[in-house]
């Protein structure tokens, strides 16, 4: 596993993105409550934050309403499940991964009654399930029985409801108007017969899938082929049926009768008896990439969400004759996300990302320059068109230093025996006569590399260059489990990382080129929480600089952070207030004095209560899935997250007596400036610290970039890595304090260990 992949995975575990998931529900519910109607058919995309700023990254989206959404199938709503008036009897061969496994004998009478029997190939032959569908006087299905060796199930239609009985269990499901019945192979004729060929394109429709599940599907006409069947030419129409969990290619005759149904990804499906060779030939033909339609290269598209548009960039390469790919979501600061499976089959492209529970299925256009399809993630389904990028975009980062440097760069490593952790980094040393004052840079949350790489920027590289050019040695270090560093991560908290920092201070203190009396710390985001912790535990820390360091405890910061992020995305105030209330409830549950199992159960109950009051469109989109997944809920119980929720930075700040510079951007949405700087200033006064400075820098965001709104989505598009005013503020203060030697009015008062 690459360091970048490991960083993102651990950032998800340690980040606060799980708490912010609740904001999406709040947005949807508040809009519904404020307007008295469903919020446009969907919710705002879940806000996610960068790994180094107390949060995590990964594209997450909900289902919005779209003006350009595929049209519905033609026909009145009742015709969707009217079975009378069409007859077909056939034996279908069941094929799994290219191998015959049995037959399905189906009889569809003129009155609409259908019987379908599965027989499995074995010695002796084994009977599988039997499904019988009965119709009422109007030819609408009224009852279904399914018998299998394991159990007996019945489905009874009662208006817009279906009562499902299986063994001792009874469930009642909603039957959406116009829902197409989906089950035995012969039923695949239903959507084909309703398809409007004059309109063409992708046409959507609700389905009711046996043995009892609701969802949505779409049908697209692709082409016609003529093949020999039984010595006679037969013209077949090919459609693509897109189901919630797979795509199926259908070949039908002019009357709509099904001849083949193929899941091209698995070479599985059905073939009308006598057409097995046709199944093999068409499946193999479909798998061959069409001329000029290779997926190798770079592709870019935009997900249209009710919030900001989210860009996705797909990078596809060939490794050992197989395809491999990674995905970037620049607006969500997620890069190099691993695509677990990618396959090109004919003019179709499919990819799947297990960790995100996401995938894409699309079709090449005639030029091979676009792939049009749908992005699916959990219950969400969003249209996405990927366009080939003929020229790879080169990000302009004009502040990145370019060698040769006017200072020395050394690759170094040291140990934290109490971790234990092996830590690797880069030490930049001014040239000339030493020893020199030094600073150690501390990254934000999530396992970060020594440059604190984020959104295509390398802030610590830029900061180290600026300071070393002014005569300050700088040590920047890979976090545990990243780059050249090793050590326990999953059970570690900010206190453990403070130990790594002090090991770095000890390393600097023993270096011949460093003045041991002039070693300081500069921490960004969570690093600004760790720096005071370390300063209270060692007299070797001469000064600290807090860059967007939190003053508020985590349980207070998370709801505030969610509120500010949502506002920067343009969410209305009523939705923001409701979202904040949900975040506060989740945080309160996570902090209850109860065992983990009890907390998880209570969070699941809260998740169910949120889902119960969602607009109907969102409930249907979620289906049987919970509003919050178990893995998301359990994130609240990780050691890092529990520490972050409960730890109050004031505990250390009120014991810090060394010089302190605390800076923040006025447009920081993740560690809001006014609220956090006020606490830092108050606690330093309580510590009787006589040498501290608190500065709010106008117009800067959490990364100290000059910005417009402070939104996370801006980070990547801004060329500036750190505003010159921020570099000057830090540099001037550090140079001034190291030129006159350390100022320590009193020995540090050690903060109590938790």
pLDDT tens digits, 551-564: 999 999 999 998 99
Looking at residue 222, its pLDDT comes to: 80
Q: For residue 748, tell me if it sits in a domain.
A: no
Stated pTM of the model: 0.62
Q: For residue 398, tell me if it sits in a domain.
A: no
Q: Which residues share a beta bridge with 174?
A: 161
Of all residues in the chain, the percent with pLDDT exceeding 90 is 34
Q: How confident is the model at residue 620 (pLDDT cuts 50, 70, 90)?
A: low
689: burial class by Cβ within 10 Å (0-12, 13-18, 19+)?
Answer: buried
Name the token pair of 265. 């990804």
Last residue of a domain, one of 645, 676, 700: 645
Q: For residue 752, tell me if it sits in a domain.
A: no
423 and 529 part of one domain: yes
pLDDT tens digits, 563-596: 998 888 777 888 788 888 888 988 999 999 988 8
The contacts of residue 550 (CB under 8 Å, 6+ apart) are: 54, 525, 526, 528, 529, 557, 649, 671, 676
Dist. CA 663–CA 676, nearest whole Å: 10
Burial profile 346-378: b = 16 or more Cβ within 10 angstroms, e = fewer: bbbbbbbbeebbbbbbbbbeeebebbbbbbbbb
> Per-residue pLDDT averaged across 32-52, rounded?
27
> Per-residue pLDDT averaged across 139-157, rounded?
81
544 and 686 part of one domain: yes
Which region among 49-58, 72-81, 96-105, 435-444 has the lowest average model confidence (pLDDT)? 49-58
Dist. CA 217–CA 205, nearest whole Å: 6
- Domain containing 596: what range? 3-58+555-645
Looking at residue 84, its pLDDT comes to: 63
pLDDT tens digits, 180-206: 777 778 788 888 887 887 777 778 888
> Per-residue pLDDT averaged across 338-360, rounded?
82
Q: Is the pLDDT of residue 110 over 70?
A: yes
Q: For residue 527, tell me if it sits in a domain.
A: yes
* Residue of 293 and 413 predicted with greater confidence: 413
200 and 219 part of one domain: yes
> Per-residue pLDDT averaged across 494-498, rounded?
95
Which region among 26-30, 324-328, 511-515, 566-570 has the lowest average model confidence (pLDDT)? 26-30
Q: For residue 176, tell me if it sits in a domain.
A: yes
Q: Is the pLDDT of residue 29 over 70?
A: no
566 and 640 part of one domain: yes
226 and 315 part of one domain: no
Q: For residue 236, tell me if it sits in a domain.
A: yes
Q: Is the pLDDT of residue 621 over 70?
A: no
Q: For residue 248, tell me if it sits in a domain.
A: yes
Q: Is the pLDDT of residue 80 over 90?
A: no
Q: How confident is the model at residue 743 (pLDDT cuts 50, 70, 90)?
A: very low
Looking at residue 647, its pLDDT comes to: 95
> Per-residue pLDDT averaged across 101-123, rounded?
80
242 and 122 part of one domain: yes
Last residue of a domain, one of 257, 272, 287: 272
363 and 477 part of one domain: no
Q: How many other CB atoms are found less than 10 A from the CB of residue 150?
A: 9
User: Over the Cα atoms of the chain, what is R_g?
Assistant: 31
Of all residues in the chain, the percent with pLDDT exceeding 70 is 78
> Per-residue pLDDT averaged across 601-627, rounded?
77
111 and 179 part of one domain: yes
pLDDT tens digits, 677-703: 999 999 999 999 999 999 999 999 999
* Residue of 244 and 142 predicted with greater confidence: 142
Q: Is the pLDDT of residue 290 over 60?
A: no
422 and 545 part of one domain: yes
Q: Is the pLDDT of residue 44 over 70?
A: no
Q: Is the pLDDT of residue 426 over 90?
A: yes
Looking at residue 380, its pLDDT comes to: 67
Q: How confident is the model at residue 737 (pLDDT cuts 50, 70, 90)?
A: very high
677 and 693 part of one domain: yes
112 and 10 part of one domain: no
Contact 261, 186 (CB under 8 A): no
Nearest alpha-carbon partner for 208 in 147, 262, 270, 140: 140
pLDDT tens digits, 360-409: 988 887 677 888 888 887 666 778 889 988 655 556 799 999 999 999 99
Looking at residue 189, its pLDDT comes to: 82
Dist. CA 247–CA 236, nearest whole Å: 19
pLDDT tens digits, 444-473: 988 889 999 888 899 999 999 999 999 999
Which region among 195-204, 245-254, 280-289, 625-634 has the lowest average model confidence (pLDDT)? 280-289
Give the single-character DSSP code of 712: G
> Per-residue pLDDT averaged across 30-58, rounded?
27
User: Quick check: bond before 82 cis, omega within 30?
Assistant: no
CATH number of the domain encompassing residue 303: 2.40.128.120
* Residue of 290 and 143 predicted with greater confidence: 143
Mean pLDDT of the chain: 79
Q: Is the pLDDT of residue 649 over 90?
A: yes
358 and 463 part of one domain: no
Which region among 208-222, 285-299, 364-378, 508-522 has the lowest average model confidence (pLDDT)? 285-299
> How far is CA 30 from its chain centroid?
23
Q: Highest mean pLDDT range out of 581-590, 655-664, 736-745?
A: 655-664
Give the single-character DSSP code of 79: G
Q: For residue 530, tell me if it sits in a domain.
A: yes
Last residue of a domain, one of 610, 627, 645: 645
Dist. CA 702–CA 51, nearest whole Å: 12
Q: Is the pLDDT of residue 27 over 50?
A: no
Number of domains forming the structure of the chain = 4
Dist. CA 684–CA 498, nearest whole Å: 20
pLDDT tens digits, 203-234: 888 887 776 667 778 888 887 878 777 677 88
């Amino acid at each position: 596993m690459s360091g970048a992949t490991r960083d993102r995975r651990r950032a998800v575990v340690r980040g606060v993105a799980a708490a912010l998931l609740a904001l999406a529900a709040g947005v949807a519910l508040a809009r519904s409550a404020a307007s008295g109607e469903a919020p446009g058919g969907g919710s705002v995309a879940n806000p996610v934050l960068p790994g180094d700023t107390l949060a995590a990254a990964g594209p997450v989206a909900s289902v919005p309403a779209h003006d350009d959404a595929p049209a519905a199938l033609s026909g009145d709503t009742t015709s969707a499940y009217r079975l009378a008036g069409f007859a077909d009897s056939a034996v279908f061969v069941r094929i799994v991964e290219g191998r015959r496994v049995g037959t399905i004998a189906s009889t569809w009478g003129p009155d609409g009654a259908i019987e379908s029997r599965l027989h499995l190939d074995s010695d002796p032959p084994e009977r599988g399930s039997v499904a019988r569908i009965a119709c009422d006087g109007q030819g609408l299905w009224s009852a279904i029985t399914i018998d299998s060796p394991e159990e007996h199930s019945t489905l009874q239609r009662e208006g817009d409801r279906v009562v499902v009985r299986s063994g001792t269990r009874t469930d009642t499901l909603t039957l959406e108007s116009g829902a197409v019945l989906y089950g035995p192979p012969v039923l695949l004729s239903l959507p084909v017969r309703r398809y409007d060929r004059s309109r063409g394109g992708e046409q959507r429709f609700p389905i009711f899938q046996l043995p009892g599940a609701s969802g949505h599907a779409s049908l697209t006409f692709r082409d016609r082929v003529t093949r020999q069947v039984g010595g006679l030419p037969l013209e077949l129409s090919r459609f693509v049926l897109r189901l919630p969990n797979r795509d199926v290619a259908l070949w039908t005759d002019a009357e709509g009768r099904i001849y083949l149904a193929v899941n091209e990804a698995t070479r599985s499906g059905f073939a009308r008896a006598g057409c097995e060779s046709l199944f093999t030939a068409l499946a193999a033909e479909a798998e061959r990439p069409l001329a000029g339609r290779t997926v190798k290269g770079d592709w870019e598209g935009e997900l249209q969400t009710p919030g900001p548009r989210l860009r996705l960039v797909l990078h596809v390469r060939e490794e050992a004759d197989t395809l491999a790919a990674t995905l970037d979501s620049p607006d969500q600061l997620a890069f190099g996300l691993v695509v677990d499976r990618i396959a090109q089959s004919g003019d179709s492209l499919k990819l799947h990302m297990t960790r995100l529970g996401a995938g894409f299925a699309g079709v090449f256009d005639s030029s091979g320059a676009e792939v049009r399809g749908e992005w699916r993630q959990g219950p969400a389904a969003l249209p996405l068109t990927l366009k080939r990028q003929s020229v790879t975009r080169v990000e302009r980062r004009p502040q990145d230093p370019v060698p040769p440097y006017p200072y020395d760069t050394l690759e170094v490593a040291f140990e934290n025996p109490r971790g234990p952790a092996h830590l690797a980094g880069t030490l930049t040393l001014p040239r000339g006569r030493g020893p020199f004052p030094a600073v150690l840079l501390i990254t934000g949350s999530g396992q970060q590399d020594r440059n604190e790489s984020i959104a295509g920027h390398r802030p610590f590289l830029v900061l180290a260059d600026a300071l070393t050019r002014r005569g300050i040695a700088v040590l920047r270090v890979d976090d545990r489990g990243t780059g050249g560093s090793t050590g326990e991560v999953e059970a570690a908290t900010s206190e453990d990382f403070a130990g790594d920092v002090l090991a770095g201070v000890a390393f600097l203190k023993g270096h011949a080129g460093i003045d041991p009396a002039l070693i300081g710390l500069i921490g960004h985001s969570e690093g600004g929480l760790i720096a005071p912790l370390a300063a209270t535990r060692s007299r070797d820390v001469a000064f600290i600089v807090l860059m967007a360091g939190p003053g508020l405890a985590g349980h207070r910061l998370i709801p505030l952070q969610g509120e500010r992020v949502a506002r920067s995305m343009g969410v209305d105030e009523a939705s923001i207030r409701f979202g904040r209330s949900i975040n506060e409830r989740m945080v309160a549950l996570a902090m209850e004095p109860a065992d983990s199992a009890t907390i998880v159960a209570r969070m699941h109950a809260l998740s169910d209560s949120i889902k119960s009051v969602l607009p109907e469109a969102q409930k249907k989109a979620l289906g049987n899935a919970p509003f919050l997944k178990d893995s998301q809920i359990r994130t609240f119980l990780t050691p890092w997250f529990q520490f972050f929720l409960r730890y109050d930075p004031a505990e250390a700040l009120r014991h810090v007596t060394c010089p302190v510079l605390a800076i923040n951007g006025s447009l920081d949405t993740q560690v809001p400036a006014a609220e956090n700087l006020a606490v830092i200033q108050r606690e330093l006064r309580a510590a009787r610290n006589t040498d501290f400075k608190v500065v709010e820098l106008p117009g800067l965001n959490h990364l100290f970039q000059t910005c417009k709104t402070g939104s996370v989505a801006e980070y990547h598009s801004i060329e500036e890595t750190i505003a010159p005013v921020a570099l000057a503020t830090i540099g001037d203060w550090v140079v001034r304090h190291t030129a006159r030697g350390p100022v320590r009015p009193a020995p540090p008062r050690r903060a109590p260990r938790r």
